[in-house]
Structure 1
Amino acid sequence: MKNYELTLILEGKATSAKKKAVLESLEKVVKMFKGKMEKVEDWGVKEMFHEIKKNKEGTYLHIPLEFEPSSLKSLEVKLKAEENILRYLIVKS
Structure 2
Amino acid sequence: MRRYEIMYIIRPTVLEDDRKALIEELNAIFTSRGAEVTNVNEWGMKDLAYEIEKHKKGYYVVIDVLSNDEARIEFDRIVRIKETIIRYLILKNER
Note whether the superposition's TM-score is higher than 0.5.
Answer: yes
**AA in 2 matched with 1:39:** N
State the partner residue of 2:31.
Answer: 31
Residue number in structure 2 paired with 1:62: 62
Deviation, 1:70, is 4.3
Q: State the TM-score, normalizing by the size of structure 1.
A: 0.86
The residue that corresponds to 1:84 in the other structure is 84
Identity among equivalent pairs (%): 28
Distance across 1 between alignment mates of 2:48 and 2:84: 16
SS at match of 1:33: coil
2:16 matched to which residue of 1?
16
- Cα distance, 1:83 vs. partner? 1.8
- Structure 2: gaps spanning 5 or more residues: none
SS at the partner of 1:40? strand
Give the distance between the partners of 1:71 and 1:30, measured in 2 at CA.
5
Normalization by structure 2: what TM-score? 0.85
Contact 2:29 2:71 in 1 (8 A): no
- Are residues 1:49 and 2:40 paired? no
Tell me the residue number matched to 1:75: 75
Encode CA deviations 1:53-72: one digit per residue, 9 max, x unaligned: 21110111111011013442
Shift of 1:87: 0.7
Task: Find the aligned partners of 2:92 and 2:20 in 1 and give their Cα distance.
Answer: 25
**Does structure 2 retain, via aligned residues, the 8 Å contact 1:6–1:89?**
yes
